[in-house]
Amino acid sequence: MGGSGGGEKKVEVVESKEWYLAAYAPEGVPTSDHLKLRTVTLSLAVDSIPDGHVAVQLLWTSTEPYLRTIMTGVEEGGLYFPQIPLNKVITTFGVGRVIVSKDGKFSEGEIVVNPFFPVAEYSVVASHFLRKTDPTAGIPLPEYLSSLGLPGFSAWVGIEVLGKPKPGSNVFISACAGAVGMIAGQLAKLKGCRVIGSTGSDNKVKLSKEKFGYDDAFNYNKETDFDAALSKYCPNGIDIYLDNVGGKMLEAVLNHVNKGAHIPVCGMISQYNKTWTEREGVRNLLNIVGKEVKIEGFLVGTYMNRMGEFMKEMEGYIKEKKISSEHKIYNGIESFLEGFASIFSTSNVGKVIIQVAA
């Protein structure tokens, strides 16, 4: 394909593959019955693109757990996002190249990040959510979906803004080798905390300790008693628990919290594939009274006014090599479903990203 612009009278049409929601999945991990790939024809002719829009070639796209919660077809609590209409293309965080611009602020060839890029090889999108990347910064593009993207920002809000760590704080993080967990652990270490994690495989335990700097971590699939595991790994109790999984781990943590502990609840991925009546309860919520624990759910969208502060801090850490990340890269837009489904298992490592084009 090729773009058109700069006043050239060149009509361009591309065939573009895109993922759309064909049927809702009230429970279980979504499959090819729910998410389907189709090919559409898209005009890139300048005249067909509305003002304030750009045509973009998608380079990298992101698998985000919250997408699961907007594919159930049930408007019930959870993350409070509206359900995706059937037959509509899925949108998520992505990095793309501008190929035609009808907005003076963006030029052809620029690489942009968008929280709502269609999972489509080519698309025409409104430009107001686009953010330019800095080609001189030397930051690999996948980082914009990882340490500098939604997971990194979530880790920063959870640990730095809500967790309020002090040197020596005892921090526990679930899904510690995942996209949020790997960054959260490193941020807590940079604040001088003792940091413990839980994850689903020995390989991820090793990675958490050796690459992400966790003081210790355990494989929850090998621990039959989470309460006993926390006694062993968190002998001084827990001051901050960044909850990514909910369920039985949250219940166990509440038996180990110190006075005044903070529990920023980033997500509860262990519960996403269940209807709400099947979700696990937490029997010892009473512990939050005597220990004066603050449990606080959050959505990063609420903290967008602090995005600039976060970006500056995180870019500094990346340049100084104080924070590193691990990416599980799938190749080709065809692999989106496989990559997305993998985040509901232990099979992935770090941030799962799809490379759509070079």
Binding residues vs ligand NAP (CB under 6 A): 65-66, 150-151, 154, 175, 177-181, 199-201, 204, 244-245, 266-270, 298-300, 343-344, 346, 348, 351
* Pairing state between β 257-265 and 294-297: parallel
Nearer to ligand NAP, 30 or 65 (CB): 65
Nearer to ligand NAP, 118 or 350 (CB): 350
Please check whether residue 262 is in contact with residue 156, taking contact to mean a CB–CB distance below 8 angstroms: no
Closest by CA position to 8, among listed 46, 55, 51? 46
Measure the CA angle with vertex 357, ends 351 and 358; round to 5°: 95
CB of residue 273 vs ligand NAP: minimum separation in angstroms? 8
Q: Name the residue nearer to ligand NAP (CB basis): 93 or 106.
A: 93
Q: Which is nearer to ligand NAP, 114 or 348 (CB)?
A: 348
Q: Which is nearer to ligand NAP, 67 or 112 (CB)?
A: 67
Backbone angles phi, psi at 310, to 5 degrees: -60, -50
**Least CB distance to ligand NAP at residue 69 (A):** 8
Taking the complex as a whole, the smallest distance from the CB of residue 340 to ligand NAP amounts, in Å, to 10
Cα 260–266–269 angle (5° rounding)? Answer: 125
CB closer to ligand NAP out of 49 and 245: 245
| 336, amino acid identity | F
Please report how close the Cβ of residue 38 comes to ligand NAP at its closest, in angstroms: 26
> Which residue is at the shortest CB distance from ligand NAP?
178
Tracing tokens 């019955």 back to the chain, one arrives at 33
Distances (CA, A) of 91 to 31, 70, 72, 125, 269: 17, 11, 16, 11, 20
Closest CB 58 distance from ligand NAP, rounded Å: 19
User: What minimum distance in Å lies between the beta carbon of 352 and ligand NAP?
Assistant: 6
